């Protein structure tokens, strides 16, 4: 048997493995490799726990010591179709044999037009609407936000942008000017983009207050908002919030931009979170999840808004043919039942968590849409202790907000795996409580 075939079979077997902790993580190989790597890495990287990944398949991740974890965070909500989905891996391999790069800003190749047309057709399903959507492809979420800021300013001729406290939009200087989830992201990097104001997430009155006191609406190019707050805490806004923003934008000629970098591509149980309210934005951003982990993002707008002329914006590598191939394969899987099935499993997981955590000390809320579920704790320390304990027990989770844990597993998570996720987490909650000094 060829080495490639052996590796493929081993990967398939990994996807079917249960959580297996053979040595308390981090094991000796992980410790040694991390110690060797760290001196060479930018100290700005976070590394929430010492996980050194060797390979991953489906919802399972194996470390270099042979420990096998159940991944309930999907590489920060990005490995949407699971790790190394065979269709996605095959599409990447096939594309890499024929064209890796030529530059979509300057030349044509078939995938670029194909994925832009596909995304436009998907955006038409929000609402629905009859806009002719056009797309600018990016490498990342932050680049999609940067493109949106530039388009909004040029199209409207206005400088102002309104974002929300608690929002996360990226770390490059433009998007960072909108990010307001934690001050550590901004510390020492100012002055940031002028003309940016922040309102209170979920609170329409706070936007009106900004208009009345700080930023005349006629100076505002765009309101940029996450339909569900991501890094800021997995918070679903009140039902009147997005429709209310739409009405304010209509009234004042402001563009409404939905940053669906985290909520898009099936994460909330619909292709776009906008579909939950039917509010159609003027600019729609996606990235995580669109290509199962390959670097791809998109900034979409109707053609009467995407009015910037040739040369206004571009990128050498964005919309790379290999990333697009992964994106097209991912979208096929999402449309072919994955969005719908993940909505069902998401509902079950939320219910299981709510049931198993009912009455647990320190748990104050279980919330979310689809497979974007947050559990709020009473303290930041408890959230941190839980993420660490779950890691040592073979469940990968991340924190978000000030004191919450986010569940954003691959969309292929099965109901049986959801049961395990909720069991391990509930037991960890009980054990963290038992270990806490009375």
Ligand X SMILES: Cc1ncc(COP(=O)(O)O)c(C=O)c1O
Q: Which is nearer to ligand X, 73 or 259 (CB)?
A: 259
Nearest C-alpha neighbor of 175 from the set 203, 150, 204, 200? 150
Name the residue whose CB lies closest to ligand X. Answer: 141
Nearest approach in angstroms of CB 188 to ligand X is: 19
Name which of residues 157 to 176 contact ligand X (CB under 6 A): 168-170
Phi-psi category of residue 47: left, alpha or beta, with phi > 0 → left and psi -120 to 50 → alpha: left
- Report how far apart, in Å, the C-alpha atoms of 396 and of each of 51, 60, 121, 247, 332 are: 9, 10, 35, 40, 27
DSSP state of 60: E
Cα end-to-end distance, the chain, whole Å: 59
Nearest approach in angstroms of CB 378 to ligand X is: 25
Looking at the DSSP bridge assignments, the partners of residue 53 are 63
Residue 257: phi and psi, rounded to 5, are -110, 120
Report if residue 321 touches ligand X, rule: CB under 6 A: no
Nearest approach in angstroms of CB 121 to ligand X is: 23
- What is the spatial distance between Cα 285 and Cα 394, in angstroms, rounded to a whole number? 33
Q: Which is nearer to ligand X, 64 or 287 (CB)?
A: 287
Options 65-73, 89-97, 136-144, 328-336: segment touching ligand X (CB under 6 A): 136-144
Question: What are the DSSP calls for 7-52, one per residue?
Answer: HHHHHHHHHTPPPB-SSPSS-HHHHHHHHHHGGGS-TT---SS---
Q: Which is nearer to ligand X, 227 or 321 (CB)?
A: 227
Q: Which residue has the tokens 């000094």?
A: 437
Name which of residues 214 to 273 contact ligand X (CB under 6 A): 226, 230-231, 259, 261-262
* CB neighbours of residue 272 within 10 Å: 25
Nearest approach in angstroms of CB 271 to ligand X is: 16
Return all residues near 185 (Cβ < 8 A) that are at least 6 apart.
168, 171, 176, 179
3-class state of residue 400 by DSSP: strand
Report if residue 326 touches ligand X, rule: CB under 6 A: no
Q: Which is nearer to ligand X, 363 or 383 (CB)?
A: 383
Q: Residue 163 in contact with residue 127, Cβ under 8 Å?
A: no
- What is the spatial distance between Cα 307 and Cα 313, in angstroms, rounded to a whole number? 11
Site string for ligand X, 138-157 (x = CB under 6 A): --xxx--x------------
Nearest approach in angstroms of CB 4 to ligand X is: 30
Q: Which is nearer to ligand X, 259 or 399 (CB)?
A: 259
Nearest approach in angstroms of CB 401 to ligand X is: 12
Q: Which is nearer to ligand X, 230 or 266 (CB)?
A: 230
Options 55-63, 108-116, 134-142, 196-204: segment touching ligand X (CB under 6 A): 134-142
Q: Residue 30 in contact with residue 61, Cβ under 8 Å?
A: no
Name which of residues 94 to 133 contact ligand X (CB under 6 A): none
Task: Compute how many residues bind ligand X; rule: CB under 6 A.
Answer: 14
Q: In 317-403, at which residue ranges do the beta strands (DSSP E only) sit?
A: 363-369, 372-377, 395-396, 398-400
Nearest approach in angstroms of CB 144 to ligand X is: 7
Q: How many CA atoms lie within 13 A of 243 on its CB side?
A: 8
Q: Which is nearer to ligand X, 140 or 320 (CB)?
A: 140
Q: Which is nearer to ligand X, 142 or 320 (CB)?
A: 142
Q: Which is nearer to ligand X, 400 or 432 (CB)?
A: 400
Q: Which is nearer to ligand X, 122 or 145 (CB)?
A: 145
Residues lying near ligand X in the complex (CB under 6 A): 140-142, 145, 168-170, 226, 230-231, 259, 261-262, 287
């Amino acid at each position: 048997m060829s080495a490639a075939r052996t590796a493929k079979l081993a990967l398939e077997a990994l996807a079917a493995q249960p959580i297996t902790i053979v040595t308390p993580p981090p094991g000796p190989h992980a410790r040694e490799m991390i110690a060797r790597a760290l001196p060479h890495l930018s100290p700005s990287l976070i590394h929430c726990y010492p996980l050194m990944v060797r390979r991953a398949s489906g919802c399972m991740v194996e470390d270099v010591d042979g420990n096998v974890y159940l991944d309930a965070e999907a590489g920060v909500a990005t490995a949407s179709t699971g790790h190394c989905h065979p269709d996605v891996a095959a599409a990447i391999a096939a594309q890499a044999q024929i064209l890796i790069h030529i530059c979509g800003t300057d030349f044509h190749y078939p995938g670029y037009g194909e994925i832009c047309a596909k995304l436009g057709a998907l955006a038409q399903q929000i609402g629905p609407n009859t806009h002719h959507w056009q797309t600018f492809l990016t490498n990342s979420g932050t680049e999609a936000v940067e493109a949106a800021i530039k388009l909004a300013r040029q199209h409207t001729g206005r400088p102002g942008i309104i974002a929300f406290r608690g929002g996360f939009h990226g770390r490059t200087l433009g998007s960072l000017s909108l990010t307001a989830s934690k001050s550590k992201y901004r510390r020492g990097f100012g002055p940031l983009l002028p003309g940016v104001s922040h309102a209170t997430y979920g609170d329409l009155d706070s936007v009106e207050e900004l208009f009345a006191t700080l930023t005349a609406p006629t100076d505002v190019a765009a309101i940029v908002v996450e339909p569900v707050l991501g890094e800021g805490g997995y918070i679903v806004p009140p039902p009147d919030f997005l429709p209310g923003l739409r009405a304010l934008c209509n009234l004042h000629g402001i563009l409404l931009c939905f940053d669906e970098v985290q909520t898009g591509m099936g994460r909330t149980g619909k292709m776009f979170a906008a579909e939950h309210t039917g509010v159609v934005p003027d600019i729609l951003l996606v990235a995580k999840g669109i290509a199962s982990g390959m670097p791809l993002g998109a900034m979409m707008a109707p053609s009467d808004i995407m009015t910037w002329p040739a040369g206004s914006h571009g990128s050498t590598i964005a919309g790379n043919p290999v990333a697009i191939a992964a994106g097209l394969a991912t979208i096929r899987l999402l449309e072919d039942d994955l969005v719908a099935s993940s909505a069902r499993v998401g509902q079950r997981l939320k219910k299981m968590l709510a049931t198993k955590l009912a009455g647990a000390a320190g748990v104050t809320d279980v919330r979310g849409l689809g497979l974007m579920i947050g559990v709020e704790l009473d303290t930041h320390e408890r959230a941190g202790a839980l993420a660490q304990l779950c890691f040592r027990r073979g469940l990968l989770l991340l924190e978000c907000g000030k004191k919450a844990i986010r569940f954003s597993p691959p969309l292929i998570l099965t109901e049986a795996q959801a049961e395990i996720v909720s069991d391990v987490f509930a037991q960890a909650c009980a054990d963290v409580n038992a270990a806490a000094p009375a």
